[in-house]
């Protein structure tokens, strides 16, 4: 069980009352975001408080009136679904930094400049997000926020989400090794030619085609043939 020095507060205001629970910082965040599916070890104290820091507990009557139950797990589920989790300053800072970096990389991988058909460098995306003053949600994944982030920077930089279909032909001696790489990049079709070469079609976010070409060129010593398909 966590010590009180290593706890945060889950808070819900409902029915004109304030309800608080002491919860574990990491486990409560994991539960709130869906990474953890149960409440095991999430609650530090199985009591509902009016003011957790002052130690003022709610009466069972008040709790049952608002939540319809005195079962602490059922109450906690409702509070996690409707309430606000008070992250520590360090925890929020670290989470937001990690999420921001992941969001920037996701946009760089999935989007291109429609004028040049080339991906935007991460530094350019980061600058655009700063200019747009895009606000990250600590409790939503980077994937969930990507579309909204792209919309926020569309007026700052030309950007579009596009998929690329690339046909490749790999010489026979490199085929077996290259096959694993092709599967990583959305292998859709494959055919082994009579001369042993591998002909395939991959579909991937347009922003990662450069990395795809680099890997295949390195693997085949530049002998791979590629063609972007409509």
The domains found in the chain, sorted by start residue, are 4-86 (3.30.1250.10), 89-160 (1.10.10.900), 163-229 (3.30.70.240)
Residue 202 token pair: 């991959």
Closest CA to 168 of 125, 205, 102, 212: 212
Q: If DSSP codes are grouped into helix, strand and coil, which group holds residue 220?
A: coil
The pLDDT of residue 4 is 59
Strand 225-229 to strand 163-170: parallel, antiparallel, or no bridges (unpaired)? antiparallel
pLDDT at site 1: 38
Q: What is the mean pLDDT of residues 121-137?
A: 96
Query: What is the per-residue pLDDT for 43?
Result: 96
Q: What is the average pLDDT score of the chain?
A: 93
Does 191 have pLDDT greater than 50?
yes
Closest CA to 32 of 147, 106, 141: 141
Q: What average pLDDT score do residues 187-203 get?
A: 96
Q: Are the C-beta atoms of residues 163 and 172 closer than 8 Å to each other? A: no
Q: What is the DSSP string of 10-79?
A: EEEEETTEEEEEEE-HHHHHHHHHTS--S-TTTBSSS--EEETTTTEEPPHHHHHHHHS---HHHHHHHH
Residue 206 confidence class, pLDDT cut points 50, 70, 90: confident
């Amino acid at each position: 069980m966590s010590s009180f020095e290593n706890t945060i507060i889950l808070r819900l205001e409902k029915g004109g009352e304030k309800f608080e629970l002491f919860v574990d910082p990491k486990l409560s965040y994991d539960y709130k975001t869906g990474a953890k599916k149960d409440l095991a070890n999430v609650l530090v104290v199985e009591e509902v408080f009016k003011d957790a820091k002052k130690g003022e507990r709610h009466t069972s009557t008040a709790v049952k009136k608002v939540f319809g139950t005195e079962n602490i797990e059922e109450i906690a589920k409702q509070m996690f679904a409707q309430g606000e989790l008070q992250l520590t300053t360090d925890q929020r800072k670290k989470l937001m930094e990690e999420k921001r970096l992941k969001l920037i990389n996701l946009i760089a991988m999935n989007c291109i400049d429609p004028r040049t058909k080339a991906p935007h460098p991460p530094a350019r995306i980061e600058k655009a997000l700063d200019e747009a003053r895009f606000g990250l949600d600590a409790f939503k994944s980077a994937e969930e926020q990507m579309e909204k982030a792209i919309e926020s920077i569309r007026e700052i930089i030309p950007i579009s989400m596009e998929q690329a279909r690339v046909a490749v032909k790999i010489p026979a001696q490199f085929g077996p090794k290259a096959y694993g790489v092709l599967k990583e990049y959305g292998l859709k079709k494959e055919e082994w030619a009579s001369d042993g070469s591998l002909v395939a079609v991959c579909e991937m976010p347009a922003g990662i085609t450069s990395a795809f070409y680099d890997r295949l060129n390195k693997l085949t010593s530049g002998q791979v043939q590629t063609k972007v398909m409509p």
